[in-house]
Structure 1
Amino acid sequence: MSYRQRSNSTDRESGYASGSSTASLAEVYFTRPHLKHINSQLAKLSPQDVLKWCITSLPNLFQTSAFGLTGLAVMDMISKLDFPLKSDIEMIFLDTLYHFPQTLDLVQRVKDKYPHLKIHTYKPEGCETTEQFEAKHGERLWENNEELYDYVAKVEPAQRAYRELGVQAVLTGRRRTQGGARGSLDIVEIDDAGLIKVNPLANWSFKDVQAYIQENEVPTNDLLDQGYRSVGDWHSTQPVTDSEDERAGRWKGRQKTECGIHNKRSRYAQYLQEQEEKRQQELSEAINAGLNIDSAA
């Protein structure tokens, strides 16, 4: 891996470069062969050793978490690392304002058990409560305009967090056995904005994570005792059966498997462009209608 200042795009060896209009990220470059080699080597290591590699190799490293089981396991591992270098990895939590009460209770229990862990909570821009969100965007936005909901509740707050905190790399709780788009996860990935994403437990199963959680007495979401495995917003999360994929309860019965944070950012850039074009079209029509009224008068 190498670090260098931004230069002409033609000299980028791999296209894996940080920097976008929505985030201020350092210039971190991986060649494709190097990234492939890193993943092949990290796949042989324990999650704890992957975390040690991250601490020594990646600048401005944070953990993003919705306090699911895997994220909790990673958090606990970080707190117990036997490593000469100090681990001061801070956490980013996106409060969509539609979390289950049990999830918010878990956040407080985590703060109580890990008092040295700093948690940065980001909410939809300009909103502190569900009432404020609905006054601004309308009720049941996730049904009326799902793309907009994903953007304002999750994608924009995440991008704002990365920008304000200077995030250059993040630890996630994603695993291959969660199914859906996660089935082919590498341990280290680069998104299309250049953000480095590390999935330390990518190779673990749900039972592996459960065993670690129980052995280390890590606090968990009370909803797990009610048949939930992956917990997100209350309006898009249901319990699952033992025969279903772990994330089958998220957007159940639909093709959707991700909330937007781990989708390509270009998808949201395109969406925002379409929204702006629509707004401009409506404005133009309104102006023309006004001119026609004036002419008739």
Structure 2
Amino acid sequence: MSEHRERTGPGLGPLAIPDHTDDELAELNREFERLPASKVIQWAVDTFAPHLSMTASFTDAVLIDLAVKVDPGIEVVFIDTGYHFPETLETVEDVRRRYGLNLRMMTVARQEEALWAADPENCCSAVKVGQLDRALAGKAAWMSGLRRAEAGTRETAPIVVRDLRGLVKINPLATWSDLDVQGYIDDHHIAVNPLTLQGYPSIGCMPCTSRVADGEDARAGRWRGQDKTECGLHVM
């Protein structure tokens, strides 16, 4: 049985939040394998809001569209590293206006020398992971758009799990294929980053993202030529 702990939100007073055991999360993960993403999001909102955030890379707005239908005021976190493509920043603004997003921009302070050039090995941890840690301070759970079909390194991604911070992480789209995503985009007229139509199926920071050739893994353009495959945001 889940225990409950209290957290206090601004102006909200103490709120009881379930403190799931690892066994309970594993059982929920098995249950969620059979449920649509909207039901998983509803569970997350019912269980953790307002101590819940979701991250967005703005490659597309599929998860945002699903989430705001459940909770129009859900907090959406975007990490502005200072190195994004202009198209990505334009997509952020377009989606923000379309949904009236409760958008929290985590902006990285300007460096005298670009960190990706000065210290490429630690750039992601210093910039992305550090800003996500700030954004999730005081939260109990967070959602992301991570999918198993995106890369071999993600093919066992759980739908719900405890992350390294001790927070519950929910990946409502984990089971979705590329066709599922494209079908939802077409059926619901979802905004997409225009770079996805120009050979960039996975979009990160401009210096570390290149076009992907036909037949390559969708994330082959990320950190091309390096051993690196993840920025650290989704390490369990």
TM-score by length of 1: 0.71
Residue identity matched to 2:46: T
Residue identity matched to 1:99: H
Residue 34 of structure 1 corresponds to 24
In 1: Cα distance, 2:201 partner to 2:168 partner: 26
Residue 175 of structure 2 corresponds to 203
Residue 134 of structure 1 corresponds to 111
Structure 1 residue runs of 5 or longer lacking an equivalent are: 6-25, 128-132, 265-297
SS at 1:219 equivalent: coil
TM-score by length of 2: 0.88
Structure 1 position 113 matched with structure 2 position 98: yes
Deviation at 1:27, TM superposition (A): 7.6
Q: 2:66 aligns with which of 63, 77, 81?
A: 77
Structure (1 or 2) with the greater strand fraction: 2
Instruction: State the identity %.
Output: 37
Who wins on radius of gyration, i.e. which is larger? 1
Aligned residues: 226
Deviation at 1:234, TM superposition (A): 0.4
Within a 5 Å distance, the mapping from 1:166-205 to structure 2 comes to: 166-205=138-177
Structure 1 position 53 matched with structure 2 position 43: yes
Residue 93 of structure 1 corresponds to 78
Q: 1:156 aligns with which of 124, 127, 130?
A: 130
Residue 283 of structure 1 corresponds to none
Deviation at 1:190, TM superposition (A): 0.8
Structure 2 residue runs of 5 or longer lacking an equivalent are: 7-15
Deviation at 1:28, TM superposition (A): 5.4
Judging changes above 3 Å, is the alpha-carbon distance between structure 1 residues 29 and 186 closer, same or farther for their aligned structure 2 residues?
Answer: same
Tell me if the contact between 2:147 and 2:157 (Cα under 8 Å) persists in the aligned partners: yes
Deviation at 1:262, TM superposition (A): 2.1
Tell me if the contact between 1:68 and 1:173 (Cα under 8 Å) persists in the aligned partners: no
Q: 2:58 aligns with which of 49, 61, 67?
A: 67
Residue 229 of structure 2 corresponds to 257
Tell me if the contact between 2:161 and 2:169 (Cα under 8 Å) persists in the aligned partners: yes
Tell me if the contact between 1:180 and 1:257 (Cα under 8 Å) persists in the aligned partners: no
In 2: Cα distance, 1:45 partner to 1:230 partner: 26
SS at 2:230 equivalent: coil
Deviation at 1:205, TM superposition (A): 0.8
Q: Structure 1, residues 53-74: CA drift from partner, whole Å, max 9, x if none?
A: 11222241111111123xx111
SS at 1:184 equivalent: coil
In 1: Cα distance, 2:168 partner to 2:21 partner: 13
Structure (1 or 2) with the greater helix fraction: 1
Residue identity matched to 2:195: L
Tell me if the contact between 2:68 and 2:74 (Cα under 8 Å) persists in the aligned partners: no
Deviation at 1:87, TM superposition (A): 4.8
In 2: Cα distance, 1:90 partner to 1:30 partner: 22
Deviation at 1:32, TM superposition (A): 2.8
In 2: Cα distance, 1:173 partner to 1:145 partner: 28
In 2: Cα distance, 1:192 partner to 1:39 partner: 17
